[in-house]
Amino acid sequence: MGLRDALDEGRFAVTAEVGPLKGTDTAEAFEVADLLKGKVDAANVTDQQSAVMRLGSLATSSLLVGRGLDPVYQLTCRDRNRIALQSDLLSAHVLGIRNVLALTGDFPTFGDHPDAKAVYDLDSVQLAWAMRRMNEGYDISGHELEGKTDFFIGAVVTPYTDTEEAFELQCIKMEKKIEAGARFFQTQAVYDATVFERFMKRAGKLGVPVLAGIIPLRSDKMARYMNRNVAGVYVPDDVIAEMAGAEKKMSRGLEIAARLIKELRSMCQGVHIMAIGMEKKVPEILELAGLS
């Protein structure tokens, strides 16, 4: 059982994240994996998140398979050309990895190696298409594979935009990703159920499962920071005020995350919890949301 099974069976799917560390120590990843096992349908393994060099997502995803947790292998176009991307995908398949999330990737200037050269030979739409071709038994140059893949192809979408034009662009990009081969979506963080409902009225017509992104807040300062610096994220003023007035801010952040899950549950096919340093709190969020 895993993510594809949950969505195919119409169950409300839950995914979380396992972030590889900057080094060879896998103890924390294993600890988080063991906490999540049996509580989530799959766990995303981030790929050099924020362009910071870490243990690779391919190796970590393979380790999660060995721990009995279904991984969502995040694969970015930033660091690899089309040869390396396809080779890594073949490697993922033979290692038992089936869910892959196609990402373009943050610019290296945001990370800890700002002088690194970005590749971007393909973008996320083209990467989804490459996976579809590999599922059909061919590489993207049309050469037949000796054994085709069976990937469950994922992509990302941003429900919140600050202009109508940007909203239309997100919907168009979503349609292009579906045409390319995407079979599920995980969204940027959602903090406003009304905004998400508007998005789902459009996205729901496309017939592809959507997992709403949930990032638990640590503080009101974190909320303000994301509003200023994270594209596609908007934390409403009333949520910021609630966090500011809370005595135990982290606990209130978990409660708000659980409340959002309850509000969004009827609108989408699942949630993706990006706990960002609070991965061990995911079971508590699920219990508060009635999903334990």
Instruction: State the pLDDT at residue 76.
Output: 97
Instruction: State the pLDDT at residue 277.
Output: 87
User: For residue range 100-137, what is the model confidence (pLDDT) as tens digits?
Assistant: 999 999 999 989 999 999 999 999 999 999 999 999 99
Degrees to nearest 5, angle at CA 188 with 42 and 249 = 90
b/e per residue 150-175 (b: at least 16 CB within 10 A): ebbbbbbbbbbbeeeeebeebbebbe
Q: Are 157 and 173 in contact (CB under 8 A)?
A: yes
Mean pLDDT of 259-281: 96
Confidence category of residue 149, pLDDT binned at 50, 70, 90: very high
Extract the tokens encoding 10.
Answer: 């119409």
User: For residue range 67-92, what is the model confidence (pLDDT) as tens digits?
Assistant: 999 999 999 999 999 999 999 999 99
User: For residue range 52-68, what is the model confidence (pLDDT) as tens digits?
Assistant: 999 999 999 999 999 99
- Give alpha helix (H) positions in 137-205: 164-180, 193-203
Share of the chain above pLDDT 70, in %: 100
253: nearest Cα among 266, 243, 262, 263: 243
Sign of the four-CA dihedral 275, 279, 280, 282: positive
DSSP secondary structure, 98-146, as one string = -EEEEE----GGGSS-TTPPP--SS-HHHHHHHHHHHHHTB-TTSPBPS
Instruction: State the pLDDT at residue 89.
Output: 98
pLDDT averaged over the chain? 96
Query: Which residues on neighbouring strands pair with residue 153, listed in sequence order?
Result: 100
Instruction: State the pLDDT at residue 142.
Output: 98
**Does position 49 have pLDDT exceeding 80, yes or no?**
yes
Instruction: State the pLDDT at residue 85.
Output: 98
Q: Which residues contact 277 (CB under 8 A, 6 or more apart)?
A: none
User: For residue range 237-267, what is the model confidence (pLDDT) as tens digits?
Assistant: 999 999 999 999 999 999 999 999 999 999 9
Instruction: State the pLDDT at residue 217.
Output: 97
Instruction: State the pLDDT at residue 231.
Output: 87
- The full set of domains in the chain, from first to last, is 3-288 (3.20.20.220)
